[in-house]
Structure 1
Amino acid sequence: MLKKLLKITAIVLGSVLILIVLLNIGFSLWLKYKLPDYLKTKTPYEITYESLNVEILTGSISANQIKIKTKQPNNLESIALEGSLDNLNISRLSIIEFLKNNQIEANSIKLINPNLKVRSAKPRAEKNKKNPIPFTIKNIEIQKGNIEVYKPDNTKLFSASNFDLDVKNLSLNQNPDELPFALDSYKISANLFYAQIGDVYSLNSSELKTINGELTINDFELKPSVDFKNWEQNFKTQKTLYDIKSKRISFNDLTFNKTKLSFRNAQVIDPVFILQNRDSKVVRSHKEKPNFNIDFENLDIKNGQFSILRSNGKKSLSLAKFDANLKGFLMDEETSKNKIPFTYKDYKVSGNQFFYDAGKYYNMDLSSLTMTSQNIDLKYFKLKPKVSRAEFVRMIPMENDLFDISADRIQLLGINWKFENDKPNINLKNAKLTNVDANIFRSKIPKDNPKEKLLYSKLLRTIKFPLVVDNLKLIQSKLVYEEDTPDSHGPGKVIFTNFNMDVKNLNSNKQKGANTKVPITINCKFMDVSPMKVNWNFNTADMRDNFTIGGSINDLPAVDINPFIKPYLNVSATGTITSLNFDFKGNNDIMNGKFRIAHKDLKVSLLDKKTREKKKFLSAVVNLVVRKDSKQFPESVDVYVERNKERSFFNLFWKGIEDGLKKTLISINVEKVKENVEDVKETVKETKKKIKEAKNNIAEKKK
């Protein structure tokens, strides 16, 4: 019985095998004699070949000397093909799917010397209906190809010459929020490579090649395929138009899958990045963020150039030359939830000739910069006005400062920052500014700015996130403040040179339990001649904004304070102020304290408000009193000034100094003498009048 069963089984299996062989032979004969007619009548292509071999058991097809041509090239409903290839090898082809639906489903395909021009089919008219992927092939090999692919309107989508490609386990993806394809490994080599990326950009390269797993792209270009005006009008959800070139880009271990792009050791050589921004607002898109991850271990950019342009083509920011390195970059679903949607392990950027258009009134320049995740080093910083002082005064709607600032070096050292609850938390160990030269000009001609000027303690509190600068130093610097009034002859000027300032614990009062006291010490030369020391303290946690400021100025030639007192008090002075001491305290409303001055050989000249000429007689009388009273000045005088909240802290401070000067140097003596002199002048006038009247009376009597 068992022997009979085995015999029957053998007969059945043998019959099946013979049937398969016969089917294979029959199908091969059918393909040989009938396929040309089938292709001619049932497909939109004219296809010829020299030889054809089909193995039905393996689903393999091979053919050589193939030529293909679209029967109806003007029919946009189907894919148009035209060209030739020396050899075609397909394994595990689904022949029924190919013959029935013109879809290629195969395990692998190999094309040798293909010269093909392809025009894609017009999208289907039905709404929300996707066109099927025209092929599903896991492994693709192309040798020495010349291929061109066009849209239905003959816009080029892809082209490459001398094109070699070897892709393993390829899968295409139609999800727009993911990467368009995935693969396990690849090798590629091509000349004159071109690919259209979406509706806006095209990618060009003179040569692509992979050697030992490293992909190199020479003469890379990612450039707009539309001009800026067209883009600005038709792509309103995009803020920036990119134009990127590079002499060479290379990276290895490139990994693609539908949700991940990663690579190692990328190098970008001689790149030029040009970004052009629209002026109008971007139309917000409600589209969710792309659902794929990007990570790379190391990226090097060498000898790069970077520019951001306004819509009119003028530069708003540029960096003439820079090198950069970025390590451990990661952007995934988890990081995308954060304020900064990516993480990194470290970075370094160094560059030269940085320019920034800082708005309506200023340009900013840097000779060089170096930035890492812990430190920033800027050299030869400049913030320069675009306009003259007279133009600035005409342009501003209300009173404002005009700055002209430079610094040989700015160093921010020991930067530690992170995001907590969608807010930054920044701690800076040291900030050093060396050889700063700052000129601040204010004209009193425009109308007053009614906005309250905050004291520094309150200004720091307005920062909405934790900020602490442990040490801030200003080294060997120069500060000049100039103020011009409608009735002054030239601006009043205050100068500080050899300016050294040390600030501790600069903070925004946002860290619980932290020290909020801010001590400031200043050593400098006042008016470029006299040693000056200042101690200034405030507390950012003090809601009344109490502060103290005290200091001294020694051996000050009186002539050197003329630029300050001459425009406002109509007074000039000579001699020496041997010491000037102040000890003030104040808050957001008032400032008061002690002021003391001692002088030697002091002489005062009173000036005419209009002509600015010296009033000789009045000045002589004043100096008699000044010399007489100079040794009788009190130890100190009380200063009291109310704060104008539309003015800065330094305005309040100098109002205190001015009040002290008036009470010690000017007001007590000069104003009193001026009153006495005016009384004497009136008396003399009256006496002259009476004498004249008497003379007239005598003359009348003689008649």
Structure 2
Amino acid sequence: MLKKLLKITAIVLGSVLILIVLLNIGFSLWLKYKLPDYLKTKTPYEITYQSLNVEILSGSISANQIKVKTKQPNNLEALALEGSLGNLNISRLGVIEFLNNNQIEANSIKLINPNLKIRLAKPKEEKSKKNPIPFTIKNIEIEKGNIEIHKPDNTKLFSANNLNIDLKNLSLNQNPEELPFALDSYKISANQFYAQIGEVYSLNSSELKTVNGQLTINDFELKPLINFKNWEQNFKTQKTLFDIKSKSISFNDLVFNKKKLSFKNAQAVDPIFVLQNRDNKVVKSNKEKSNFNIDFENFDIKNGQFSILKSNGEKSLSLAKFNANLKEFVMNEDTSKNKIPFTYKDYKVSGNQFFYDAGKYYNMDLSSFEMSLQNIDLKNFKLKPKVSRAEFVRMIPMENDLFDISANRIHFSGINWKIENDKPNIKLKNARLTNVDANIFRSKIPKDNPKEKLLYSKLLRTIKFPLVVENLNLIQSKLVYEEDTPDSHGPGKVVFTYFNMDVKNLNSNKQKGVNTKVPIAINCKFMGVSPMKLDWNFNTADMRDNFTIAGNINDLPAVDINPFIKPYLNVSATGTITSLNFDFKGNNDIMNGKFKITHKDLKVSLLDKKTREKKKFLSAVVNLVVRKDSKQFPESVDVYVERNKERSFFNLFWKGIEDGLKKTLISINVDKVKENVEGVKETVKETKKKIREAKNNIRNNRLKKKGTQT
């Protein structure tokens, strides 16, 4: 029984095997003799070949000297092909699917010397129905190909000369949120490579190639297909138009996945980045969200250039040369939930000739800079006005400051920052500003700005995130404040040179455990000649904004304060103020304290408000009082001023100094002296009048006597 069963099984298997062999032979003969007629009558292409070999068991097909041409080149509904192939090898081809539906399903395909022009079919009008992918091939190999692919309107989508490709485990993808393809490994080389990226950009390269897993793209270009005006009108969801060039870009271990692009090392040599922004900053939101992931271990930019243009083509930011390195960059679905949608481990950036259009009134420049994860170093910083003072005053709607600031170096070190609850948390060990030259000009001609000027403790509290600067140092600097009023003849000026300032614990009162007391120590030369020391303290946690400020100025030539007191007090002085001491305390409402001044050989000149000429007689009388009273000054006088909340802290501080000067020096009984002098003047006038009357009477009497005698 068993022998009979085995015999039957052998007969059946043998019959099946013989049948398969016969089918293979028959199908091969059919392909050899009938396929040309089938291709001619059943497909939209004219296809010829020199030889054809088919193995039905393995599903392999090979042919050589193939020529293909579309029968109806004007039919945009069908895929158009034109060209030739030296050799074609396909393994595991789904023959039935190819013959019935023009779909290529195969394990691998190899094209040798293909010279093809391909025009894609016009998309079907039914929006709900997607066009099927024209082929499903896991492995593709092309040798020495020249290929062009066009849209139905003959717009070029892709082209490459001398194209060599070896793709392993390729899969295509129609999901717009993901990469259009994925693969396990690749090798590629080509000349004059071109590919359209979406509707806006094209990618160009004179040469690209892979060597030992590294892809190099020479003469890389990512450039717009349309001009800025058309882009601005037609792509409302995009904020910036890019134009990028590079001598070469290279990648190591580049990996494509449907949802991920990763590589170990990348380098761009001599890249030029040009970004142009639309004027309208409001960009229509794009509801399509991407969960696409990017990560790389190391990315270098060598000798790059960078520019951001306004819509009119003018530069709003430029960097003539820079080098950069970024390590362990990750952007994925998790990081996209954060305010900064990516993470990185470390970075370094250095550059030269940085320019920034800082708005309506200013330009900013740097000669060079270096930035890393924990340090920022800026050289030759400049913030310069675009307009003159007179133009600025005409342009501003209300009172404001005009700044002109430069610094040889600005250095931040010990930077530690992170994002918590969508807010930055910044801690800075040291901020060091060297050789700052700051000029601040304010005109009182425009109308007052009614907005409250916050004291510095409250101003720091308005920062909405934790900020701590442990040490802030201003070194060997110069500060100039100038103020112009409608009644003054030229701006009043206060100058601080050799200015050194040390600030501790600068903070926004948003971090637990941080010392919120802010001590500030200043040493400088007041008006460029006199030693000045100042100690200033406030506490950002104090809601009443209490502060103290105390200091002294020594050996001040009185002539050096004339640039400020002359325009406002109509007074000039000579001599020496040997010491000026103040000790004030205040809050958001008032400031009071002690003020003391001593002087030597001081002379005061009172000036006419209109002509600015010296009032000689009145000045002489005042100086008699000054000389008499100079040795009888009290130890100190009490100062009390109320804060105008529409003015700055320094306005309040100056008002305190001014009040002390008035009480001790500038206005020493001037009003009373004026009254006395005016009284003396009237008395002198009356006396002179009586003397003149007496002289006239005497002369008249003499004349009468002479007349009587004659």
Q: 1:652-663 to 2 correspondence within 5 Å?
A: 652-663=652-663
For each residue in 1:514-549, what CA deviation from the matched residue of structure 2 results, as whole angstroms up to 9, or x when unmatched?
211000000000000000000000000111100000
Q: Which residue of 1 aligns with 2:404?
A: 404
Aligned: 1:221 with 2:221: yes
- Structure 1 residue 670: deviation in Å? 3.0
Q: Which residue of 2 aligns with 1:123?
A: 123
Q: Determine if contact 1:499/1:523 at 8 Å carries over to the other structure.
A: yes
Q: Which residue of 1 aligns with 2:69?
A: 69
For each residue in 1:528-586, what CA deviation from the matched residue of structure 2 results, as whole angstroms up to 9, or x when unmatched?
00000000000001111000000000000000000010000111100000000000000
Q: Which residue of 2 aligns with 1:113?
A: 113
Q: Which residue of 2 aligns with 1:552?
A: 552
Q: 1:237-256 to 2 correspondence within 5 Å?
A: 237-256=237-256
Q: 1:139-218 to 2 correspondence within 5 Å?
A: 139-218=139-218
Q: Which residue of 2 aligns with 1:266?
A: 266
For each residue in 1:382-440, what CA deviation from the matched residue of structure 2 results, as whole angstroms up to 9, or x when unmatched?
00000000110010010000000000000110000111111111100000000000000
For each residue in 1:303-347, what CA deviation from the matched residue of structure 2 results, as whole angstroms up to 9, or x when unmatched?
000000000000001111000000010111111111111111100
Question: Using the alignment, how far apart are the partners of 2:682 and 2:149 within structure 1?
Answer: 104
Q: 1:358-377 to 2 correspondence within 5 Å?
A: 358-377=358-377
Q: Which residue of 2 aligns with 1:461?
A: 461
Q: What SS does the corresponding residue of 1:11 show, helix, strand or coil?
A: helix
Q: 1:192-341 to 2 correspondence within 5 Å?
A: 192-341=192-341
- One-letter code of the match for 2:563? P
- Structure 1 residue 687: deviation in Å? 3.7
- One-letter code of the match for 1:316? S
Q: Which residue of 2 aligns with 1:500?
A: 500
Question: Using the alignment, how far apart are the partners of 1:390 and 1:286 within structure 2?
Answer: 45
Q: 1:75-86 to 2 correspondence within 5 Å?
A: 75-86=75-86
Aligned length: 703
Q: What SS does the corresponding residue of 1:658 show, helix, strand or coil?
A: helix
- One-letter code of the match for 1:399? E
- Structure 1 residue 259: deviation in Å? 1.1
Q: Which residue of 1 aligns with 2:429?
A: 429
For each residue in 1:178-222, what CA deviation from the matched residue of structure 2 results, as whole angstroms up to 9, or x when unmatched?
111100000000000000000000000000000011100000000
- TM-score, structure 1 length as denominator? 0.98
Q: Determine if contact 2:49/2:64 at 8 Å carries over to the other structure.
A: yes
- Structure 1 residue 663: deviation in Å? 0.7
How big is the alpha-carbon RMSD for the aligned residues of Structure 1 and Structure 2? 1.3
Q: Which residue of 1 aligns with 2:707?
A: none
Question: Using the alignment, how far apart are the partners of 1:268 and 1:206 within structure 2?
Answer: 15
Aligned: 1:541 with 2:558: no
- One-letter code of the match for 2:334? E
Aligned: 1:394 with 2:394: yes
- Structure 1 residue 698: deviation in Å? 7.8
Question: Using the alignment, how far apart are the partners of 2:671 and 2:582 within structure 1?
Answer: 23
For each residue in 1:356-381, what CA deviation from the matched residue of structure 2 results, as whole angstroms up to 9, or x when unmatched?
00000000000111000111000000
Does 9-18 or 197-206 show the bigger shift? 9-18
Does 23-32 or 436-445 show the bigger shift? 23-32
- Structure 1 residue 618: deviation in Å? 1.3
Q: Which residue of 2 aligns with 1:619?
A: 619
Q: Percent identity?
A: 88
- One-letter code of the match for 2:413? L
Q: Determine if contact 1:585/1:593 at 8 Å carries over to the other structure.
A: yes
Q: Determine if contact 1:238/1:282 at 8 Å carries over to the other structure.
A: no
Aligned: 1:570 with 2:570: yes
Aligned: 1:610 with 2:614: no
Question: Using the alignment, how far apart are the partners of 1:574 and 1:601 within structure 2?
Answer: 8
- One-letter code of the match for 1:634? P
Question: Using the alignment, how far apart are the partners of 2:321 and 2:12 within structure 1?
Answer: 79
Q: What SS does the corresponding residue of 1:668 show, helix, strand or coil?
A: coil
- Structure 1 residue 696: deviation in Å? 7.1
Q: What SS does the corresponding residue of 1:139 show, helix, strand or coil?
A: strand
Question: Using the alignment, how far apart are the partners of 2:660 and 2:487 within structure 1?
Answer: 23
- One-letter code of the match for 2:685? K
Question: Using the alignment, how far apart are the partners of 1:690 and 1:128 within structure 2?
Answer: 117
Q: Determine if contact 1:201/1:222 at 8 Å carries over to the other structure.
A: yes
Question: Using the alignment, how far apart are the partners of 2:570 and 2:668 within structure 1?
Answer: 16
Q: Which residue of 1 aligns with 2:584?
A: 584
For each residue in 1:97-149, what CA deviation from the matched residue of structure 2 results, as whole angstroms up to 9, or x when unmatched?
11111111100000000000001111110023211111110000000000000
Does 82-91 or 606-615 show the bigger shift? 606-615
- TM-score, structure 2 length as denominator? 0.97
- Structure 1 residue 669: deviation in Å? 3.6
Q: Determine if contact 1:626/1:669 at 8 Å carries over to the other structure.
A: no
Question: Using the alignment, how far apart are the partners of 1:111 and 1:653 within structure 2?
Answer: 84
Q: Determine if contact 2:65/2:87 at 8 Å carries over to the other structure.
A: yes
In structure 2, do the counterparts of structure 1 residues 620 and 79 end up closer, same or farther at CA, with 3 Å as the change threshold? same
Q: What SS does the corresponding residue of 2:254 show, helix, strand or coil?
A: strand
Unmatched segments (≥5 aa) in structure 2 = 705-710
- Structure 1 residue 299: deviation in Å? 0.4
Q: 1:348-367 to 2 correspondence within 5 Å?
A: 348-367=348-367
Q: Which residue of 1 aligns with 2:475?
A: 475
Q: Which residue of 2 aligns with 1:442?
A: 442
Q: Determine if contact 2:237/2:286 at 8 Å carries over to the other structure.
A: no
